[in-house]
Amino acid sequence: LSAPAAPLLQGLNPEQLAAVTLPSGHALILAGAGSGKTRVLTTRIAWLLQNGHATPGGILAVTFTNKAAKEMVARLTAMLPVNVRGMWIGTFHGLCNRLLRAHHKAANLPQAFQILDTQDQLSAIKRLCKQFNVDEERFPPKQLAYFIANCKEEGLRPRDVPAHDADSRKKVEIYALYEAQCQREGVVDFGELMLRSYELLRDHDPIRAHYQRRFRHILVDEFQDTNRLQYLWLKQMAGDEAEGRLQSHGCVMAVGDDDQSIYAFRGARVGNMADFVREFAVQHQIKLEQNYRSYSNILDSANHLISHNSRRLGKNLRTTQGAGEPVRVYEAATDLAEAQWMVDEIRQLVKNDGFARKEIAVLYRSNAQSRVIESQLFNASVPYRVYGGLRFFERAEIKHALAYLRLLENPHDDTSFLRVVNFPPRGIGARTLEVLQDAARQAGCSLHDAVSAVPGKAGANLGAFVALVDVLREQTQGLSLRGIIEQMLESSGLVEHFRTEKEGADRIENLQELVNAAESFVTQEGFGRDAVALPLDEHGQSLTQSPVSQGLDPDAPRLDEPLRPTAGIIDADTGETLSPLVAFLTHAALEAGDNQAQAGQDAVQLMTVHASKGLEFDAVFIGGLEEGLFPHDNASSDRDGLEEERRLMYVAITRARQRLYLSHAQTRLLHGQTRYNVKSRFFDELPEEALKWITPKQQGFGSFAPNSGAGSAYGASAGGRFGFKSETFASASPASSKATSHGLRAGLAVFHTKFGEGKVLAIEGQGDDARAQVHFPRHGTKWLALSVAKLTVVE
């Protein structure tokens, strides 16, 4: 018997209650930030299950991030003792990955296909351009990547792309070559995950019919940021069109907020909302107008700001909470001063007001802003955690390790081959690789298969590399995931290589962390525990009667795991499961890749505004509110762009529950240049009565040397409060690893126009006298005067 209904629905307001308990039919919930959309969605799932309107296997829920998916499951299990294992809850990419693995034959992919992240995709395109002599000035690889991603988001294959002139014909040709290359290597990029699984549903009636029957309830969060293809994908899942109407077995509930649409640059279409209402003949539309998240000073600021946008569907938001603290605004002289102010406020929030560090977020428009904030937090010994930015799995040494692992699974993965064929160095030069690539192209085979075509010493070196991987593959047969990785780290020579490198200790630590990540992937996520899992229909029946499924105990727990896009996936035809290694590699490509070790720590949260969508924190800092940065240069010239920036600011503001801090700096070191900035127009669009300006009085514009260190940044400030900061800097010993200047510190990777990439070893002196010792692999170690040398931090 189901538990009493009351606790589940308790505390919902009438509109929320109506939404949670809607009868069948498609529904759109359009509501502002913090009005409980996500809560309604989650409660709806619980309510459907509790009242027998749905079984776990009949639920498909789409979230915007993996983190959101995890949170949804956590909340769900807290509400209801429910077995979430049969549910499909995840991001579009995660769900598509599941579909493609389960039906890889129909999708024309190897089951163990690898996923290319953005970096891999770019290097694959660069390789292609070299191979086919594409003029990279005329067709920059980055633009080609963008072009291809766009085509895929529109659902267009090369043959479908209209090409009227020579340039666009060339681009389409490259797109086709790229597609062929990926297919040959058995790899897919993010866009391909989506497009391929859309085509899978579209072109295979039995598979489509199966999922349409299975998923009686499809729920989509953050619907305003779906792109065209995702919308079409949902439509395939929901039903078939006949006589101009969607014939649907189930119901789709979409929740969204047009004011929070911030991914137009990636193809998101707010227009999907209107299309949804029309094409699905939506029966229920509900608005939620009560905000439960923020005090009214914060909410008023958000409302006031967003009212400057003209294209809105129109919603109201009110709160019954009091005014709360005013929104604090700080005008800093430099980005460094801004960061120091933030750190100071954060320490006070924690010490005096009892805020948990993990409930404090620092949001920024651009990833490049995080560096100076990080270094200040680091200097003050405040634990912090960065989301996004360079993710763990994107670090160079980790990518190298993953490339070896990928080659174990698939020797024809040319991207991985090229990444490590000469890393650690084995005397294989660029010329040899050109010969190899030519041979492979002529034979129409992978680099691996073309090795024997290269003559002489070079060929022997290549042969030795291939043999190394082959031996490693044999050595690791039957080993645990951990065992495989440890063996790989040793046999590949990676650890040994970094041991001899001056700054290699960090990298070895990260490689060790990879072992830990694999270990926790296996244990926490339980990979390997499941016997088998097949695509199941709503009643837990498998799609096909494979030999494996016949042996299944019908009372065994649902084996269809919702959260791990890989675990428990099995070939619908053969019953073949993914190896833990492939599962782990997929996890590495799809997950945010946050450092596992940091996960539970009480740390200040740093992230871009984009990454903060859907989240909430007790206190929020939004820095860098400067023209050109926020609103961003790229966007502020046209109205659409500016409106999107404003929505982004609206998202940022509405993350805050209790305290909101806004700041801008008069000068900022960004991308190696000092920029003099005007404060953001957004300040003028906030209600004056909700703000409190706390700028130091005597701080004048132009009276200080830009970015010349803490001393001058605070020399003009009222002192006292910040006094200890200057001391920290004054007493910093020369070449101390903690010293910072011009936004640099030891350990950072930098780029110099003449010497190329290098690594900062030490910083000495301050202001105009500051110098950095930088090691450039090709030019050796040099000391550079920071007021003269143009160093860009490499991200």
Residues in touch with Mg ion (CB under 5 A): 37-38, 614
Judged by beta carbon, residue 85 or residue 647, the one nearer ligand ATP is: 647
Burial profile 522-556: b = 16 or more Cβ within 10 angstroms, e = fewer: beebebbebebbbbbbbebbbbeebebbeebeeee
d(CA 364, CA 372): 12
Pick the binder of ligand ATP from 7, 11, 427, 723 (CB under 6 A): 11
Q: What does the alpha-carbon distance between residue 213 and residue 210 come to, in Å, rounded to a whole number?
A: 5
To the question of whether residue 703 is assigned a binding role by annotation, the answer is no
Residue number with CB closer to Mg ion (225 or 560):
225
How far, in whole angstroms, is CA 530 from its chain's centroid?
Answer: 28
Q: Are strands 251-256 and 187-189 parallel, antiparallel or unpaired?
A: unpaired
- Could you tell me the smallest distance in angstroms from the CB atom of residue 254 to ligand ATP? 13
- Choosing from 56, 141, 158, 614, the residue that interacts with ligand ATP (CB under 6 A) is 614
Q: Which does 16 bind (CB under 5 to 8 A by kind): ligand ATP, Mg ion, none?
A: ligand ATP
> Measuring CA to CA, how many Å separate 414 from each of 125, 651, 783?
12, 41, 39
63 has binding-site annotation: no
Q: Answer yes or no: are the C-beta atoms of 586 and 112 closer than 8 Å.
A: no
In residues, how long is the chain? 795
User: Binding to ligand ATP by residue 257, rule CB under 6 A?
Assistant: yes
Instruction: Pick the piece of the chain touching ligand ATP (CB under 6 A) from 36-44, 512-520, 589-597, 664-672.
Output: 36-44
Q: Which of 37, 395, 657, 725 is catalytic?
A: 37
Of 20, 22, 39, 770, the one binding ligand ATP by CB under 6 A: 39
414 binds, among ligand ATP, Mg ion, none (CB under 5 to 8 A by kind): none
Which of the ranges 33-41, 399-407, 447-455, 589-597 carries the binding residues for ligand ATP, by CB under 6 A? 33-41
Report the distance separating Cα 337 and Cα 666, nearest Å.
10
111 is catalytic: no
Among 34, 56, 250, 562, binds ligand ATP (CB under 6 A): 34
Any binding-site annotation on 264?
Answer: no
Q: Does 12 bind ligand ATP (CB under 6 A)?
A: yes
Of 34-42, 132-140, 360-368, 382-390, the segment contacting ligand ATP by CB under 6 A is 34-42
Helix or strand or coil: residue 651?
helix
Q: How far is the CB of 568 from ligand ATP (least distance, A)?
A: 29
Task: Decide if 222 is catalytic.
Answer: yes
Tokens 């391909």 map to which residue? 192
Residue 624 lies near ligand ATP (rule: CB under 6 A): no
Residue 36: name its binding partner from ligand ATP, Mg ion, none (Cβ under 5 to 8 Å by kind).
ligand ATP
Cα separation values, 237 from 44, 46, 523, Å:
19, 21, 33
Q: Are strands 791-793 and 749-752 parallel, antiparallel or unpaired?
A: antiparallel
Q: How far apart are CA 413 and CA 406, in angstroms?
A: 7
- Among this protein's residues, is 37 annotated catalytic? yes
Out of Mg ion, ligand ATP, none, what residue 227 binds, judged by CB under 5 to 8 A for its kind, is none
Q: Are 54 and 42 in contact (CB under 8 A)?
A: no
> Residue 160 is which amino acid?
D
**Is residue 33 at the binding interface for ligand ATP, with CB under 6 A as the rule?**
yes
Given Mg ion, ligand ATP, none, residue 487, with its beta carbon under 5 to 8 Å by kind, binds none
**37 annotated to bind ligand:** yes
Closest to ligand ATP by CB, 31 vs 299, is: 31
Using the minimum distance from each CB to ligand ATP, give the nearer residue, 387 or 417. Answer: 387
Cα(578)–Cα(584) distance, integer angstroms: 10
| Number of residues located near ligand ATP, criterion CB under 6 A | 19
Residue 188's H or E segment, with its range, is strand 187-189
**Of 655, 745, 759, 771, which is the active-site residue?**
655
* Per annotation, catalytic residue among 120, 189, 192, 221: 221
Q: Closest separation between CB of residue 423 and ligand ATP, Å?
A: 43
- Measured CA distances, 164 to 43, 160, 169, 174, 525 (Å): 51, 12, 7, 15, 50
Reduce the secondary structure of 166-182 to three states and give it as a string: HHHHHHHHHHHHHHHHH
First-to-last C-alpha distance (Å) of the chain:
56
Instruction: Give the binding range for ligand ATP (CB under 6 A) out of 37-45, 225-233, 352-360, 734-742.
Output: 37-45
Is 221 assigned a catalytic role? yes
Spatial CA neighbour of 647 closest among 314, 327, 306, 366: 306
32 is in an annotated binding site: yes
34 binds, among Mg ion, ligand ATP, none (CB under 5 to 8 A by kind): ligand ATP
Binding site partner of 33, from Mg ion, ligand ATP, none, Cβ cut-off 5-8 A by kind: ligand ATP
Least Cβ distance, residue 357 to Mg ion (angstroms) = 23
Judged by beta carbon, residue 37 or residue 196, the one nearer Mg ion is: 37
Within 13 Å and on the Cβ side, how many CA atoms surround 648? 27
Structure tokens that stand for 618 in this block: 């007790």
Q: Is 345 assigned a catalytic role?
A: no
Is residue 632 within 8 A of residue 264, CB to CB? The reply is: no
Q: Is 728 annotated as a binding residue?
A: no
Q: Is 37 in the site for ligand ATP (CB under 6 A)?
A: yes
Does residue 658 belong to the site contacting ligand ATP (CB under 6 A)?
Answer: no
Q: Which residue type, as a one-letter code, is found at position 171?
A: K
Radius of gyration of the chain (CA): 27
Q: Is 38 annotated as a binding residue?
A: yes
Query: Are 631 and 640 contacting, i.e. CB atoms less than 8 angstroms apart?
Result: no
* 647 touching ligand ATP, by CB under 6 A: no
User: Which range touches ligand ATP (CB under 6 A), out of 12-20, 50-58, 408-416, 452-460?
Assistant: 12-20
Which residue in 539, 456, 463 sits closest to 214, CA to CA? 539
> 680: which DSSP letter?
P
785 marked among binding-site residues:
no
The string of DSSP letters for 567-582 reads: TT-B-TTT-PBPPHHH
**Contact pattern for ligand ATP over residues 258 through 297, marking x by CB under 6 A:** --x-------------------------------xx----
Q: Quote the least distance from Cβ 656 to ligand ATP, whole Å.
A: 11
- Does residue 68 sit in helix, strand or coil? helix
Record the tokens describing residue 672, joined without a space: 């190696």
Is position 36 an interface residue for ligand ATP (rule: CB under 6 A)?
yes
Three-class secondary structure of residue 657 per DSSP: strand
Alpha-carbon gap, residue 608 to 626, rounded angstroms: 15
From Mg ion, ligand ATP, none, interface partner of 13 (C-beta below 5 to 8 A by class): ligand ATP
Is residue 519 annotated as part of the catalytic site, yes or no?
no
What's the CA gap between 490 and 417, in Å, rounded? 18
Annotated binding site: 31-38
Chain residues binding ligand ATP by CB under 6 A are: 11-13, 16, 31, 33-39, 257, 260, 292-293, 614, 616, 654
Q: Give catalytic residue positions.
A: 37-38, 221-222, 260, 655
Annotated binding site for ATP: 31-38
